[in-house]
Amino acid sequence: AQSVTQPDIHITVSEGASLELRCNYSYGATPYLFWYVQSPGQGLQLLLKYFSGDTLVQGIKGFEAEFKRSQSSFNLRKPSVHWSDAAEYFCAVGPNFGNEKLTFGTGTRLTIIP
Amino acid sequence: DVKVTQSSRYLVKRTGEKVFLECVQDMDHENMFWYRQDPGLGLRLIYFSYDVKMKEKGDIPEGYSVSREKKERFSLILESASTNQTSMYLCASTPRGLREFGNTDTQYFGPGTRLTVL
């Protein structure tokens, strides 16, 4: 069965500092991987996705993620965070052949301090 | 832009009431999903539907049912609401063939309904 682990429940970063959010997955085939962001009171917005090809993918809002098959990881990075990046971030993997289900991690809450 | 709308942003119901949560998408997507989101548990899939009148159980279907009479609308039903169903409910949609046909699209989410059961 596929699964996603986000080991950090809560991360606090100073504005302007770099950010890395961790995501590890378990999946039986070549995974499709996603990062979503949820601002307070909002639904989920797609930041970026990996399907195939270049293992470093660029997303919106200055985010990037790197797929590392050997480590089963898909970590999200940003070189310099802004106060507006404070949100909850979800990593997801899937879908399976025959259905379109995604499996989500439990999320990482990001707090930005001035 | 894909638009997924949910009928209510906030809802307060009493234990035992029948509750309907509505979701509508405007992009002719075949697949629709209902999740619930709880702190520390992330998103958990309740039900999904890959066509009109078709439905499949997700990971936590107990206490819920769904209805998909039209392609654009997917309803989540709490037959007899209980306090442990207090949660944020998120609807999503996606076109068919996300993997099988090399479709590089993704799931589009509605803004969520925060349901409180008293």
pLDDT in tens, A52-99: 888 999 999 999 999 999 999 999 999 999 999 999 999 998 766 556
What the block records as the tokens of B88 is 């944020």
Q: What is the pLDDT of residue A102?
A: 84
Who among B40, B56, B99 is closest to A32 (CB)? B99
Who among B40, B50, B112 is closest to A99 (CB)? B50
**For residue A87, which of A78, A74, A98 has the smallest C-alpha distance?**
A78
Query: Do residue B42 and residue A104 have CB atoms under 8 angstroms apart?
Result: yes
Q: Is the pLDDT of residue B103 over 90?
A: no
3-class SS at B49?
strand
A2 Cβ partners below 8 Å, 6+ apart? A25, A26, A27, A28, A31, A93, A94, A96, A103
Instruction: Identify the band that residue A100 occupies on the pLDDT scale cut at 50, 70 and 90.
Output: low
Q: Give the mean pLDDT of chain A.
A: 90
Query: Do residue A51 and residue B40 have CB atoms under 8 angstroms apart?
Result: no
Q: What is the pLDDT of residue A29?
A: 75
Who among A42, A96, A100 is closest to B50 (CB)? A100
Q: Is A72 on the interface with B (CB under 8 A)?
A: no
Distance in angstroms (rounded) separating the CA atoms of residues B30 and A106: 27
3-class SS at A113?
strand
Give me the torsion for CA of B39, A25, A46, A100, rounded to 10°: -100
Query: Do residue B40 and residue A106 have CB atoms under 8 angstroms apart?
Result: yes
What sign for the dihedral angle of Cα A84, A21, A10, A48? positive
Q: Which of A45-54, B14-23, B104-113 has the highest mean pLDDT?
A: B14-23
The DSSP output letter for B1 is -
Q: What is the pLDDT of residue B36?
A: 96
Average pLDDT over residues B90-116: 77
**For residue B64, which of B9, B14, B21 has the smallest C-alpha distance?**
B21
Distance in angstroms (rounded) separating the CA atoms of residues B43 and A46: 14
Q: Is A10 on the interface with B (CB under 8 A)?
A: no
Percent of the residues in chain B that have a pLDDT greater than 70, as a whole number: 91
pLDDT in tens, B25-67: 998 888 899 999 998 898 999 999 988 999 999 989 999 999 9
Q: What is the pLDDT of residue B92?
A: 92
User: Is residue A112 a contact partner of residue A13, using CB atoms and an 8 Å limit?
Assistant: yes
